[in-house]
Chains A and B, each alone.
Chain A
């Protein structure tokens, strides 16, 4: 099946004006770091900007700035005043939304349709939501006068750079904490633009500090003795290291880690909708989603029909320029991630599963991977157990609801799951038995600032979003 011809509809880059180089954002100002590295666009390998690399000494400086701001300004400020700063930030994010969306797509490789319609609106919504909590914490159910923790060290991944920043910074600030945030090495630019937004909002210096850098800077931040709270989103492997590092200290920790979600399709499911949900579940954001529906569990009686329909739908997916408004699947975020996806898909074929991808041309420069499904997958296969974090779906079948639940739960992860069936009672019964923090029934990959997000088991602990998300930043 051939793809309809579309004229390219590129979003203009003119709205983004990048500086050639960026410093670290400490104490309200951009300052020189100890080293530097380049952030490239994964869709073209073009160098977008040079950014400072934070050293241990820089982490010290940033934590000191955050401590000072906490003790002298932010920790003492009334909730109502903190709220107004956060509302200001939310408004500026809306005002500069297109600029942020274009920069996010440039730096991350995700389609502009997603950065523009999902990421950035959710970022603004998150700041609005937590702004409103800042002067209502007495009523949040964490005691009469809950106190902030102090300085939060926050480390975020590259898959939703600005959205993960919002998930971390908005509740921390609303509760009266100050933060030192380290964006991912490959996607630092929207965090630096956010630093400019903090300046525009006249946020007191030191309340938000942004340290660009790699794993070493993150490790120094986690281990820093003057950090009261560590919040991390990323791999389960790094999550374990963080949990070990903070053992024996008084640091509070929340971890949002990996996943291997089952998307369960029962025989009475509305097939067209389920196929859209499967596609959304695994190909949204190139599958760089910790809660991606990366294991399709389809009831045996309809597996052929679903697979045929899925393949047809996949043939219409457009892979290419992230800034083209028609693009469905953008670039893989980095050469390193592409290598990881290739390693796991090669293992899938070696172990006997069968790969299928629609014919599609990939750009010659940049990092790309075709949307891929594997059939004939067994539960023991690496592609059924390990997080691929790419546009790769493993398809397994089941006969009974009990078998579906058993297979869905047969993983150390427990972040999310999907259920597709017309039967309400079955949805509720299956949802009850799935060991996962978020269950999407007849939908998938929905996010909202009011809705708590986070995992069971080795997908981490703590919740982000909603009233629940306040708990991570309050002493109680």
Chain B
């Protein structure tokens, strides 16, 4: 944070806020940045303004991370999500300060950061339970083993809610990745700092590079490239407030039949339920004959 002291005892070392793609922190390939201001309109930082190329690079990174992340054991994913909560807890004061920069009261900032940490813990525990809750054996009328189990949809592009900048972001990212999806997220444009600082948390939590990719900039500019990208499987429009843009994005998503979560008002402090997880899960049902003789004696 810049300080306003006329003659600081020591000049602060500012942080450059960059994108988070494939586990690295690049600037926008476009070379663009935009000014982020605090609640009073004072300069805070020059954030990277992501371009179409950045969005595509992020999708590439997300696609590349799908096999390893969705193939990791549920236990392992749970461990890593819990690790994210631990790292976030360790930087609790930093996040509180960032949220206060954008005008939150001390109490509100504390409450949001604590809720965000707890939300990671909550979702961490879901990793090895969701399959039992939404999948199971199907009692078909015949001598068959028949089991339905959820699987990650793949790459999910997300427009995160503008507010609350941290809890809203955690609230859309955690349910998508806990089940094995990878994500490309367009962060809150006016309050991007918690997103980039969250990326620093993710980068130190054993989360494989590419599982979460964060873009800062204009959702109206970036999201259409994600909505029409053939290597994106699903689109979460929770953070889109412009009805016209939401419709345009949903129309673009139809070309490759992406799963779409439409914009909705969300109470981020409430129990999230499981709908955000199931929105990005596919159900796979496997059949096999039952027979003492093996496949040779099967009732095909």
Contact = CB atoms under 8 A, between A and B. Distances in A.
A206 B2 CA distance: 67
Closest 7 CB pairs of A and B: A248-B247, A243-B254, A247-B250, A448-B140, A442-B295, A270-B296, A244-B254
Contacts of A269: 295
A443 B257 contact: no
B245 to A, nearest CB: 10
B287 A460 contact: no
B204 interface: no
A454 B151 CA distance: 13
A244 B260 CA distance: 12
What is the interface of chain B mostly: helix, strand, loop, or mixed? mixed
B256 A442 contact: no
A375 B288 CA distance: 28
Contacts of A444: 300
B140 A450 contact: yes
B134 interface: yes
B298 A443 contact: yes
Given A240-B255, A240-B257, A448-B138, A431 B286 contact: yes
Contact of A451 (B140, B295, B298, B299): B140
B250 A248 contact: yes
Given A247-B250, A248-B247, A448 B141 contact: yes
A280 interface: yes
A450 B139 contact: yes
Interface string B195-215: 000000000000000000000
Contact of B148 (A239, A250, A431, A452): A452
Given A441-B287, A448-B146, A468-B283, A273 B246 contact: no
A236 interface: yes
A437 B283 contact: yes
Nearest to A468: B283
A437 B247 contact: no
B251 interface: yes
A427 B295 CA distance: 11
B261 to A, nearest CB: 12
B138 A451 contact: yes
B257 A255 contact: yes
Interface string A268-281: 01100100110010
A127 to B, nearest CB: 14
Nearest to B150: A468
B146 A451 contact: yes
B16 interface: no
A232 B138 CA distance: 24
14 contacts: A243-B257, A244-B254, A257-B257, A270-B296, A412-B256, A437-B283, A438-B285, A438-B287, A439-B287, A441-B286, A442-B295, A443-B300, A446-B287, A458-B256
A46 interface: no
B289 A437 contact: no
A468 B148 CA distance: 9
Contact of A461 (B247, B259, B286, B296): B259
Interface of A: 125, 141, 143, 236, 239-240, 243-244, 247-248, 250, 255, 257, 269-270, 273, 276-277, 280, 412, 420-422, 427, 431, 436-444, 446, 448, 450-454, 456-458, 460-461, 463, 466-468, 471, 476
Nearest to B256: A458
A273 B297 CA distance: 8
Given A141-B133, A247-B254, A448-B140, 4 more contacts: A236-B257, A444-B300, A446-B144, A467-B136
Nearest to B243: A248
Contacts of B273: 143
A437 B285 contact: yes
B294 interface: yes
B51 interface: no
Contacts of B285: 437-439, 451-453
A448 B142 contact: yes
A451 B145 CA distance: 11
Nearest to B139: A450
Given A277-B300, A466-B148, A422 B295 contact: yes
Interface in B145-191: 146, 148, 153
A458 B287 contact: no
Contacts of B262: 250
B289 A443 contact: yes
B211 to A, nearest CB: 19
B9 interface: no
Interface string B256-279: 110110100000000001010010
Contacts of A439: 284-287
Contacts of B144: 443, 446
B116 interface: no
A243 B144 CA distance: 35
B259 to A, nearest CB: 5
A452 B254 contact: no
A460 B258 CA distance: 9
Nearest to B141: A448
B253 interface: yes
Contacts of B250: 243, 247-248
Contacts of A467: 136
B300 A441 contact: no
Contacts of A427: 288
B29 interface: no
Contacts of B243: 248
Contacts of B140: 446, 448, 450-451
Contact of B251 (A236, A247, A450): A247
Given A269-B295, A422-B296, A466-B148, A450 B138 contact: yes
B238 interface: no
Contacts of B257: 236, 239-240, 243, 255, 257, 457-458, 460-461
Nearest to B278: A471
A380 B230 CA distance: 19
Interface in B98-120: none
A255 to B, nearest CB: 7
A178 B222 CA distance: 40
A74 to B, nearest CB: 25
Contacts of A421: 295
A456 B140 CA distance: 22
